[in-house]
Amino acid sequence: MSSYVKSGLCLALAALQISPDNSRHDVLVEAKVSQKVVQPLSPSNDNNNNKPSHDDENAAPRYSRTEVAEHCHYDSCWIVVNNKVYDVTRFLRQHPGGDDIILEYAGFDATSVFIDKGHSRDAYEMLAEYFIGEVTEKDWLPEMNCT
Ligand code: HEM
């Protein structure tokens, strides 16, 4: 698939808020259908309780899921895990599970798959190195437990 076509596809799926494996879609639809605001769960730090403050000028950059979806390429690969945005472009070639498996989720929410694969503590620590910001509050999804 050409990168031009893939870009378009990523953006279209992002507009519909659908992950490649559809795993996080139900959560969002359920939250919207029940007209409940998704709990404003803070993207907690892996050390926990480092809640972002809106007044904090040094707060991490915020990205909408549509912005994240633009980074769905080998040359620019962002993923979301628990409402945090990671630029894992530099890591693709180092990934023990191969680059393809991450690229499937490039531009998308990879929370379920990252956690379900049972990554080690080391993997979580590595992930933290690629943190670049947080998802904008309107696009937050309920967090999943990492343990
Ligand atoms: C995007 C979703 C991802 C998927 C689906 C995925 C999947 C996998 C799989 C299947 C393995 C096992 C490889 C094997 O048995 O040989 C693995 C291992 C590993 N992955 Fe990922 N991975 C993802 C993202 C990441 C990210 C973003 C990082 C860190 C920045 C990472 C770090 C590691 C590490 C360190 C291992 C070695 C085993 C461990 O320490 O847990 N992975 N991954």
Whether 108 lines ligand 1, by a CB cut-off of 6 Å, is no
Query: Residue 14 in contact with residue 65, Cβ under 8 Å?
Result: yes
**pLDDT tens track for 117-145:** 999 999 999 999 999 999 999 999 999 98
The Å distance, Cα 53 to ligand 1 centre, comes to: 31
Query: Residue 49 in contact with residue 41, Cβ under 8 Å?
Result: no
Does some domain include residue 24? Answer: yes
Domain count, the chain: 1
Does some domain include residue 121? Answer: yes
- Reply yes or no on whether the pLDDT at 18 is more than 90: no
Does some domain include residue 44? Answer: no
The Å distance, Cα 61 to ligand 1 centre, comes to: 25
Report the complex ipTM. Answer: 0.92
State both tokens at 52.
């972002």
Q: Which residue has the higher pLDDT, 91 or 25?
A: 91
Does some domain include residue 52? Answer: no
Residues 82-103, mean pLDDT to the nearest whole number: 98
Does some domain include residue 71? Answer: yes
Report residue 86 CA to chain centroid gap: 7
Q: Residue 80: give the domain boundaries.
A: 3-39+62-139
The Å distance, Cα 81 to ligand 1 centre, comes to: 13
Does some domain include residue 133? Answer: yes
Task: Supply the CATH number for residue 69's domain.
Answer: 3.10.120.10
Does some domain include residue 45? Answer: no
User: 78-81 and 84-87 as β-strands: parallel, antiparallel, unpaired?
Assistant: antiparallel
Task: For ligand 1, atom 15, name the residue with the nearest CA.
Answer: 97
